[in-house]
Structure 1
Amino acid sequence: MSIAIRYFSKTGHMKRMADVVSAVTGVEAKDITYPISEPVDTLFLGSAVYYAGIDERMKEFIRSLDGSKVKNVICFSSAALLPSSYPQVRRLLEGHGIRVDEREFHCRGSFSLLHRGHPNDEDLMNLKEFVEGLNLQ
């Protein structure tokens, strides 16, 4: 099974989370400046909510994806206020004919003083367990 990991991170939170996914899967995590050029069975896509929406650069990355090269996307995200970026990401991906797995991982992210320190070690451990539980190998 071929796997790719892409993420967008303004604060470093999503990079930390992508590194956990990388450690479990053995696949290098890359930011969204690296296009998906080879076919992948599963794309782990890490996004965060900024001011109630996903960043425009993430939207551009999603628009650049070729549905014939990406079979399935598993989302992981963090946000201080919204429950998840999943609905926004899913709508965009499905609009390009890309299947989005119903399994997703989300945890609190920090914003100013709100949820300070998140994602924390417990959040990252929960992400590790989530990815291990997918049984993708």
Structure 2
Amino acid sequence: MRVRVVYQSTTGNTKRIAETIARAVGCLAEPVGTATVDEPVDMLFLGASIHAKDIDPSVKKFIAGLDPALAKQVTVFSTGFEDKAVGIMKGLLARRGIHVSDTCYFCRGKFLFFNLHHPDARDVTRAEEFARSVLAK
């Protein structure tokens, strides 16, 4: 099974979870700005968070460029204050005709003085378990 993990991270929170998921599924985490999907992928984990009420434009550009024939299924994940990024990514992917997993992963992420210490060890463990459970299905 070909698996990829692609993410966008401004503060490092989503990067940490992306790297955790990648280790759990046996691949490397790739920043969205340098990632391309030019060969079939059975499972693509895609991560982002909300900044200024929306996901980063680079994530929208990545999704817009995804070929539905190459990305067989996408599972989204996010960090932050709320899981709004999950819904935005799911909607954009669905509009492209890409199969989006019903399951997703979200954990709090630190920003300034909020959610200090997150993602924490428990968040990381849950991300590992989530990634393994997605591939086990």
Q: Which TM class, normalised by the smaller chain length? A: over 0.9
What's 1:114 paired with? Answer: 114
Q: Secondary structure at the match of 2:61?
A: helix
Give the letter aligned to residue 23 of structure 1.
R
Q: How does 1:11-50 map to 2 (within 5 A)?
A: 11-32=11-32, 33-50=34-51
> What's the % identity of the aligned pairs?
32
SS in 2 for 1:53: coil
Between the two proteins, the alignment pairs up a number of residues equal to 136
Q: If the length of structure 1 is used for normalisation, what is the TM-score?
A: 0.93
Kindly state the Cα deviation for residue 51 of structure 1 after the two structures are TM-superposed: 2.2
8 A Cα contact 2:11 2:111, kept in partner:
no
Counterpart check, 1:67 vs 2:68: yes
* Structure 1, unpaired ranges of 5+: none
How far the C-alpha of 1:116 sits from its partner, in A, is 1.4
List, as ranges, runs of 4+ consecutive aligned residues in structure 1 with deviation greater than 6 Å.
Answer: none
Distance 1:53 1:130 in 2: 24
| TM-score (ref. length: structure 2) | 0.93
1:26, CA displacement in angstroms? 0.7
Q: Give the equivalent residue in structure 2 for 1:86.
A: 86
Q: Which has the higher strand share?
A: 1
CA RMSD of aligned residues (A): 1.3
Query: What secondary structure sits across from 1:115 in the alignment?
Result: coil
